[in-house]
Amino acid sequence: IAFVAAARISPLQLQYSAGKGFLEKHTDSFNNVRASVYDLFAKVTYKMNGHHKVYGEAFYSMDNFGYGNTNGTSYDRMEWSNFIGNLHWDWEISERNALDVSVSYNSYGSNQNQEKVMEGVYNRLGVESHIEEAVAHAQYTSRWGKGWLFHLGARGTKSRFAPGSSKVYGEDGGSST
């Protein structure tokens, strides 16, 4: 069994916090800046014997940015996220024949929100979009003589796309699409 994991965290928020006094003194329009960017990755591989190998991978990333104006009447936030997961099985049936089977899932989302006080009334607008895809794949390979390969496979894909649906939130927290 082999396992690998990695994480990356951006220091943007720490850098902003360190320079906040300087920025607030020299800028008149931005306040309350928030920033976070991180990625996580993991992979595990298991070789059952000389003929079977199973491995899985996962990746997740999130980017989140936000800022408000100095008089506190608006706040804007943008967010992106992505998740990818794969599971794969390799089977060496014989020296000339092999079977590869895999399934994967990918999800991407984005979200933008704006909170704003206009003419004394609190308003909040949110726009979200999502893309999801699941794939199953199988392929049989046979080696025939010198340089000849025979491939037989199947692939199925299911996708969902939800583009930019929006919501307007009222003072009571309720929404209308």
Residue identified by tokens 């943008």 is 78
Q: Which residues fall within 8 angstroms of residue 79, CB to CB, at 6 or more apart?
A: 62, 63, 64, 65, 109, 110, 111, 112
Q: How far apart are CA 32 and CA 22, in angstroms?
A: 13
Query: Is the pLDDT score of 13 beyond 60?
Result: yes
Q: Per residue in 133-171, pLDDT tens?
A: 999 999 999 998 888 999 999 999 999 998 877 767 665
Nearest one of 53, 161, 57 to 110, comparing CA atoms: 161
Does the pTM of the predicted model rise above 0.85? no
- Mean pLDDT across the chain, nearest whole number? 87
Beta bridge partners of residue 161, listed in sequence order: 131
Q: What is the average per-residue pLDDT within 106-116? A: 92
Q: Per residue in 23-32, pLDDT tens?
A: 666 666 666 7
E-assigned strand segments in 96-147? 97-118, 121-144
